[in-house]
Structure 1
Amino acid sequence: MGWSQPKENTVPALIEGVQRFDGVELDIRMTSDEKLVLHHDRRPMLLGKSLDGRPEFVEKWSLDQLQNEGFDAFADFMHHPTAQKSLSEESKVVFVELKLPHRRLLKKKDANSHLVKMLTKVQDIATNAGIPKHNLVIYAFHHHMNQVVKSAKYDGLWSQLAPVIPPIDGEFWQKFRTLPSFVKTSFSSLSKKHRHAGSPIVPCALEYLSGWTRHIPIGRSVGLHGASLKRLRQSLNGLGCHVWPCNDKIERQVLRAGLSPISDFANPDQSLPNAARWTKPATMPLEDEDWNNLDEGIKPNSSIKWSDLSDKEKIQQLEIWKVRFGWQNNVEEMHLESKGEIPWQAVRLIGHRGCGRSSRYST
Structure 2
Amino acid sequence: MVIPEPRPCREVIILAANTIALLIPYGPAFSREFVVDLGAWEQPAENSVPALVHGIKFSDGVEFDIRMDGDGELVVYHDEFVPGEGGIAERCIESLSTSELKSKGVVTFDELLSNSNFTDAWGSTGKTVDIEIKIPHPVTKIDTDQYLESVFDLINEGVGPLDLPDKTTIVSSFSPRISTVAKSSSFEIPVTRLMPRIRSWGRYWRIKRIVAMPHFAMTSVPTMASSFREEGMESIGMALDYIVGWTRFVGPGKTVGIRGKGLRRLHKSLRGMGIFVWPAPLGIEDDLIDAGVSLVSDNMNPDLFVKPDGSVRWPRPASQPLDDEWRDAFTSSDVDEYGDLIREASSSLPEWNELSSERKSEIVVQRGRRSFWQGSEEKWKSESELGLPWGCPRIIGHRGSGKTHGG
Inter-CA distance 354–295: structure 2 relative to 1 (3 Å threshold): farther
TM-superposed deviation, 1:39: 0.3
Inter-CA distance 9–89: structure 2 relative to 1 (3 Å threshold): same
For 1:134, what is the secondary structure of its paired residue? coil
**C-alpha separation in 1, matches of 2:362 and 2:224:** 31
Which of 298, 308, 315 is equivalent to 1:279? 315
TM-superposed deviation, 1:56: 2.0
Which of 62, 67, 73 is equivalent to 2:108? 73
For 2:131, what is the secondary structure of its paired residue? strand
For these two proteins, the number of residue pairs brought into alignment is 355
Inter-CA distance 268–326: structure 2 relative to 1 (3 Å threshold): farther
User: 1:67-97, CA deviations, whole angstroms, 9 ceiling, x for partnerless residues?
Assistant: 1111101122223212221122111111001
Is 1:183 the equivalent of 2:210?
no
Which of 25, 35, 38 is equivalent to 2:76? 38
Is 1:117 the equivalent of 2:128?
no
TM-superposed deviation, 1:236: 0.9
**C-alpha separation in 2, matches of 1:171 and 1:284:** 34
TM-superposed deviation, 1:277: 0.7
Matched ranges for 1:121-136 at <5 A:
121-136=154-169
For 1:261, what is the secondary structure of its paired residue? strand
TM-superposed deviation, 1:290: 4.3
Partner of 1:22 in structure 2?
60
Is 1:252 the equivalent of 2:286?
yes
Q: Any conservation in 1 of the 2:365–2:380 contact (CA below 8 Å)?
A: no
- 5+ residue gaps, structure 1, are none
**C-alpha separation in 1, matches of 2:392 and 2:331:** 20
**C-alpha separation in 1, matches of 2:290 and 2:362:** 19
**C-alpha separation in 2, matches of 1:52 and 1:178:** 27
Which of 126, 134, 149 is equivalent to 1:91? 126
Read off the aligned partner of 1:154 and give its amino acid letter.
F
- Mean Cα displacement is larger for which, 251-260 or 131-140? 131-140
Q: Any conservation in 2 of the 1:238–1:329 contact (CA below 8 Å)?
A: no
Is 1:223 the equivalent of 2:223?
no
Read off the aligned partner of 2:152 and give its amino acid letter.
L
TM-score of the pair, normalised by structure 2: 0.81
Read off the aligned partner of 2:287 and give its amino acid letter.
Q
Matched ranges for 1:48-63 at <5 A:
50-51=84-85, 55-63=90-98
User: 1:124-152, CA deviations, whole angstroms, 9 ceiling, x for partnerless residues?
Assistant: 11003333353111111111222211232
Read off the aligned partner of 2:74 and give its amino acid letter.
L
Read off the aligned partner of 1:286 and give its amino acid letter.
L
Inter-CA distance 252–278: structure 2 relative to 1 (3 Å threshold): same
For 1:246, what is the secondary structure of its paired residue? coil
Partner of 1:104 in structure 2?
139
**C-alpha separation in 2, matches of 1:292 and 1:351:** 27
TM-superposed deviation, 1:218: 0.7
For 2:91, what is the secondary structure of its paired residue? coil
For 2:282, what is the secondary structure of its paired residue? coil
For 1:262, what is the secondary structure of its paired residue? strand
| Cα RMSD for the two superposed structures | 2.3
